[in-house]
Structure 1
Amino acid sequence: MIRILLAEDDQVMREYLARALERSGYAVSAVDRGTAALPLLNSERFDLLLTDIVMPEMDGIELAQKAADIAPDMRVMFITGFAAVTLKAGKAVPHARVLSKPFHLRDLVMEVDRMFEVGTATGL
């Protein structure tokens, strides 16, 4: 089963995304900030880091850079509502995907499926 580490500071959004991904067959561990994600990255294996870019304490870009040192094979997808940081994310982590808010849950699941070439029927 593909394991996703979700870092999103907005509680409602975090729960919404985690539930949609779990319904689509992914195992999701969700945290509310980048600094909470680091211990999990050090102790568990994840296939994907799905992170908001703008978060308190440590932004998603810094988290992705630290994650690359810990788990270089892990894929990264950023989610953001700020167009200006999308460009910054692309320069800092060039192999990452960026999904701009607002997006439909179906779009998120389709992007994750594409990253892993999974053909799931999402029902979303």
Structure 2
Amino acid sequence: MFNTPLPLLLVWGRDMTVLFNDAYGALAGPAYGRVPGGSVPPVMPPPLAAGGAELERAWDGEAAYAPGRTLVFAGSDGGGHYDLYFTPVRAGDDTVAGVLCALAPAAPVPDAAGADTTGPLRILVVEDNVDSQYLVCEMLRAFGHEADGVGHPDDALARLAAGRYDVLFTDVSLPGMSGVELARQAVAQAPSMRVIFASGYGDTLLRHVEFPYLSLQKPYELDQLQQALDKVAHPLPVRT
């Protein structure tokens, strides 16, 4: 199964034990598999994060295909655009015991408008829970983006004033200032700023927000975060 020049990952069991062949190891680089310290759980390998929906379909017993996904590996130059193929691997009783993920270089797709492919996003994460802030930043970096984290709105405003960010990813409930007011000031300073809110209260506190945004309900899944990033990589519709 692993004797192939194609990069392969084998996910075994729902506890996500992951095996990979030499081709995948060469692609991912020496940093692959290193787990963050403390009590923070490891992030999912980029192909599994980028094809989260297709991975779930394979767990349900259906072969799935995720074309043209952008993969970036931390500390490696092996990223790029790949087609991902997910195949269920069945046990003797015909239950799905694992999923095989194969990577193949994606054929270039010409852009109708002649625009360049969107590059990594620079994201400011505002979260007063230090463990959650660390985990979100690690996940964003695993997706191939640049991420800085702060815990207080005042620090966030200082960062926004000193550097350029594409996305503000902020908790709604923050000390001293709500995430909504923080985002309002950020958008006033940089109208092109894209905003993602994370909230444990749903959209109740976001009903009167006058600028475009996306929101994630805590606790959110890894594929939901990836989908939100995919959406903010393009212009967002204006909410009314």
TM range (shorter): 0.7 to 0.9
Match runs of 1:1-124 below 5 Å: 1-83=120-202, 86-117=203-234
Q: CA deviation at 1:94?
A: 4.0
* Whole-angstrom distance in 1 between the partners of 2:153 and 2:180: 9
Q: 1:72 to 1:64 in 2, by over 3 A?
A: same
* Whole-angstrom distance in 2 between the partners of 1:51 and 1:105: 16
* Whole-angstrom distance in 1 between the partners of 2:210 and 2:226: 21
- TM value normalised by structure 1: 0.86
Secondary structure (helix, strand or coil) at the match of 2:128 reads coil
Query: Following superposition, which runs of at least 4 residues in structure 1 exceed 2 angstroms of deviation?
Result: none
Q: CA deviation at 1:10?
A: 0.8
Q: CA deviation at 1:90?
A: 3.7
In the comparison of the two structures, how many residue pairs are matched?
A: 115
C-alpha contact 1:64 1:93 (8 A) present in aligned 2: no
- TM value normalised by structure 2: 0.46
* Whole-angstrom distance in 2 between the partners of 1:49 and 1:79: 11
Higher relative contact order (CA 8 A, sep 6+): 1
* Whole-angstrom distance in 2 between the partners of 1:15 and 1:96: 23
Q: 1:53 to 1:43 in 2, by over 3 A?
A: same
* Whole-angstrom distance in 1 between the partners of 2:201 and 2:214: 15
What amino acid is aligned across from residue 144 of structure 2 in structure 1?
G
Q: CA deviation at 1:68?
A: 1.1
Q: CA deviation at 1:102?
A: 1.0
Q: CA deviation at 1:93?
A: 3.8
Q: CA deviation at 1:75?
A: 0.4
Q: Percent identity?
A: 31
* Whole-angstrom distance in 1 between the partners of 2:233 and 2:151: 25
* Whole-angstrom distance in 2 between the partners of 1:46 and 1:64: 12
Q: 1:2 to 1:37 in 2, by over 3 A?
A: same
* Whole-angstrom distance in 2 between the partners of 1:33 and 1:48: 17
C-alpha contact 1:17 1:105 (8 A) present in aligned 2: no
